[in-house]
Every structure is written in C-alpha cells, then in structure tokens.
A and B are shown apart, each in its own frame.
Chain A
Amino acid sequence: GQQVMQIPQYQHVQEGEDFTTYCNSSTTLSNIQWYKQRPGGHPVFLIQLVKSGEVKKQKRLTFQFGEAKKNSSLHITATQTTDVGTYFCAGGVNYGQNFVFGPGTRLSVLP
C-alpha cells in the first residue's frame, strides 16, 4: 500500500535558524497537504499543493511539490519559538478523501 515517509524525525534548531522537512511517497500523489500539531494540540491544516513543481509561500513558510509529485518539502525561514510542533505531510491519491499521513517531523526551537 501507499507509504509516506518524512525526514528528519526530529530537528532541534536555534531560534533564527532555518528548518526544512522532507516528505516522500512510495506512489505518485494527486495532491499533498501539510498540517502542524502543537504539543498537546490537534493537527491544523496549513496548505494543499496540487500541481507538479508547485511552490507556495505563507510568510516564513515555503512549501514545494516535486516535479514527479512523489515528494514535497516545507521550509521555515528564521524559525521562532512559535514554530515549535510536529509537521505532518499527508499524501492523497486520485484526489481521494483518504490522505495517508507521514510520521511527522518534530521541531524544537531553542530561544
């Protein structure tokens, strides 16, 4: 079945440093979503990417969908302590409602 992996599993950065998490799927995706879960909280939708090679920005966050639609990345510029949390990608196939979540990357930001 479809598998979605993320690396790294954990990342500790100093405040102000950049951070990137990578998402890789075993199958070609129709679309990919990114979620953020704060410690003790629930996943919150960040963005959806649909087109091959698509790049979207949200303030300090940059999301990219690979040309082959099998991988994606989330890059945070100049991290802040409010960025702490686990970032999940979720890959969709055939635009279906069943998104397979990656295992997440847990980000710690040291002040």
Chain B
Amino acid sequence: DTAVSQTPKYLVTQMGNDKSIKCEQNLGHDTMYWYKQDSKKFLKIMFSYNNKELIINETVPNRFSPKSPDKAHLNLHINSLELGDSAVYFCASSQDWTGGLGNTEAFFGQGTRLTVV
C-alpha cells in the first residue's frame, strides 16, 4: 500500500485553466504538507495542515487554495494557471507538527509534474 498517494502523476494544461491535485495518506498522520519543487530542484513549502487546520501558509499566490476535508486528505486547487506554476508538486505527511524528537519525519508522495503551456 502506498503511504502517501497523489493524483494525477502528470498534468499538462493550458494557461488560465483551473486544476486540482489530490493527496491522501494512510499513515494516520496528523500533519500534511504541500511542497513545490522547481526546475532547479529547490524544495519550498507552500502549506501545512494539522488536523485539518491550516498552520503554515507561506508566501504563495492566492490562486493556490488547499483544502483538507479530513485528516487523511489534503488537496491543492490552482486557479488561473500561469507558466511559472510549472513544477513538481509534492504532498507529504508527518505524524505530528510539534516536532521534537522524531515526530516530524516527512513521508513524501510520488509528486505531480505540472506543465503549463
């Protein structure tokens, strides 16, 4: 069983469209994240949710809207896609958000490669 699964794996779409990426984790973790990895492989956190509540919202355009219907799911909706949104988006989860001694090991999904044309 895949621990953190994202769909779709690949997404090619035109500028201006709206798209969603879904993420589910079956690890029973309390915290989920969205990361963006650009063409230079920089990994940058976008959002973090703990028990369905938003706890981190980095400087991300408000065209990006995360939604967590329950603790096991964190979806990412993107409005009015732009060329610069092309990247690999990773969902991840960790047991806890308070960190400390090992609870924040992050398990990443396989990634969604978004290409905006």
Contacts and interface: CB of A to CB of B under 8 A. Distances in A.
Interface residues of A, number: 26
A86 B41 contact: yes
A43 B43 contact: yes
A48 B44 contact: no
B56 A42 contact: no
B104 A97 contact: yes
A95 B109 CA distance: 23
A97 B100 contact: no
Interface of A: 30-31, 33, 35, 37, 41-45, 48, 50, 86, 88, 92, 94-101, 103-104, 106
Contact of A42 (B41, B90, B99, B101): B90
B50 interface: yes
Interface of B: 31, 40-45, 48, 50, 55-56, 90, 92, 94, 96-102, 104-111
A31 B105 contact: no
10 contacts: A30-B99, A37-B41, A42-B111, A50-B101, A92-B99, A95-B98, A96-B99, A98-B48, A99-B104, A106-B41
